[in-house]
């Protein structure tokens, strides 16, 4: 199922038009899978690369009544998100690796 989101700048992104996407990493705390991004078992994130090359983040909650939201990420923040989630950086973000990792 494709979702569309209106962004702050008025543009619209669609999950079905994304050229690439990455699932969040989780850690097992003995009872639940916890998002490495949100620190919660209920709140989650997924990163997308739009058909125009911009990175955007979908955030959602499993709590009743809360829907998904989306926002653009600056390239360096997208690279940080990918590294935190143990993903390889795409070629267009590789330049940020040295700045992010110590």
**pLDDT tens sequence across 58-73:** 999 988 767 789 999 9
**Within-domain flag for 102:** no
**Within-domain flag for 44:** yes
Containing structural domain, residue 66: 4-97
**Within-domain flag for 14:** yes
- Whether the Cβ atoms of residue 44 and residue 24 lie closer than 8 Å to each other: yes
Q: How far is CA 44 from CA 32, 40, 59, 91, 99, in A?
A: 13, 8, 6, 25, 26
Specify the number of domains making up the chain: 1
Instruction: Could you list the beta-strand ranges (E) of the chain.
Output: 4-6, 12-14, 20-23, 26-28, 33-35, 43-49, 55-61, 69-73
Q: Give this prediction's pTM.
A: 0.91
pLDDT of residue 83: 97
């Amino acid at each position: 199922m494709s979702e569309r989101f209106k962004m702050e700048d008025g543009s619209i992104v669609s999950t079905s038009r994304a050229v690439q996407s990455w699932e969040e990493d989780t850690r097992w705390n003995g009872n639940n899978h916890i998002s490495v991004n949100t620190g919660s078992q209920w709140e989650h994130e997924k990163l997308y690369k739009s058909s125009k090359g911009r990175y955007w983040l979908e955030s959602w909650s499993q709590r009743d009544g809360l829907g998904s939201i989306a926002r653009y990420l600056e390239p360096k923040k997208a690279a940080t998100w990918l590294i935190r989630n143990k993903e390889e950086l795409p070629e267009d973000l590789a330049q940020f690796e040295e700045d992010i990792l110590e």
